[in-house]
Amino acid sequence: KAGVTQTPRYLIKTRGQQVTLSCSPISGHRSVSWYQQTPGQGLQFLFEYFSETQRNKGNFPGRFSGRQFSNSRSEMNVSTLELGDSALYLCASNPLPGSNYGYTFGSGTRLTVV
Amino acid sequence: AQSVTQLGSHVSVSEGALVLLRCNYSSSVPPYLFWYVQYPNQGLQLLLKYTTGATLVKGINGFEAEFKKSETSFHLTKPSAHMSDAAEYFCAVSDPGNTGNQFYFGTGTSLTVIP
């Protein structure tokens, strides 16, 4: 069974632009979470979606947003990009909300802001 | 509030030697605990988890970890290191009572295996 698929794998954007990242969870998984990974801050929680609703949000500015579609696929958007947004963005899925499952992570999207 | 401390950002072991990666957590309630491994340019892969029940948990690739409530620890071990174990390892904690699904990750330990 296919894993968590994130597209694109690599992205280079200019400051001030916006970007949309996509995540397709494992088939049957309905909970999707997003994390940002940077060398300085480590792994930080962005948000979690279930049934097209955001259930939880981390401490990120409003420039970071996301959504989930009826087929459980999720997108995250970052507007007005800053150099500090350069990071590996990881998507993770679970069958349902509930941290006892542990996550299944995708390979991530490496965003570079220049 | 929850937090995770991984002692030692870099650990080196010889091939065939014991691997011990340390993780201590802070939590107001008995947490769920996880270890993940990350290879270069890849996402995180779940090695093992503790939710309830037996405190010694066995995972993939010969790794195991023991939940010690009195020490608030969840150290990861492997009896004999293999070259393929070289990677970044992350300990994570979550609050089972939290209606969200947020994990708190440690800062990671980079494991080097010396031939």
CA-angle at B83, arms to B80 and B86, nearest 5°: 100
Which runs of consecutive H residues, i.e. helices, occur in chain B?
A: none
In this predicted model, which residue has the larger pLDDT, A80 or A101? A80
Q: Is B103 on the interface with A (CB under 8 A)?
A: yes
Distant-in-sequence, close-in-space partners of A85: CB < 8 Å, separation ≥ 6:
A78, A111, A113
B105 vs A4, A42, A98: nearest CB: A42
A16-26 mean pLDDT: 98
Q: Per residue in A51-69, is it b (16+ CB within 10 Å) or e — as a string?
A: eeeebbebebeeebbbebe
Facing residue for A56 by CB, picked from B41, B100, B108: B100
**Contact B105/A at CB under 8 A:** yes
A30, amino acid identity: R
Nearest Cβ partner for B43 among A31, A33, A90: A90
Is the pLDDT reported for residue A13 higher than 90?
yes
CB proximity B57 to A under 8 Å: no
pLDDT band, residue A1 (cuts 50/70/90): low
Cα distance between residue B9 and residue A85, in whole Å: 24
pLDDT for res B28: 74
Distance from CA of A46 to the nearest CA of B (A): 9
Are the beta carbons of B106 and A100 separated by less than 8 Å?
no
Please answer whether residues A89 and A75 qualify as being in contact, where contact means their C-beta atoms are separated by less than 8 angstroms.
no
Q: Is B35 on the interface with A (CB under 8 A)?
A: no
Residues near A41 by beta carbon (within 8 Å), at least 6 away in sequence: none
State the CB neighbour count (10 A cutoff) for residue B70.
5
Short-list B104, B93, B106, CA closest to B6 = B106
Who wins on pLDDT, B99 or B40? B40
Distance of CA B24 to the CA centre of its chain: 10
pLDDT-derived band at B41 (thresholds 50, 70, 90) equals confident
pLDDT above 70 as % of chain B: 95
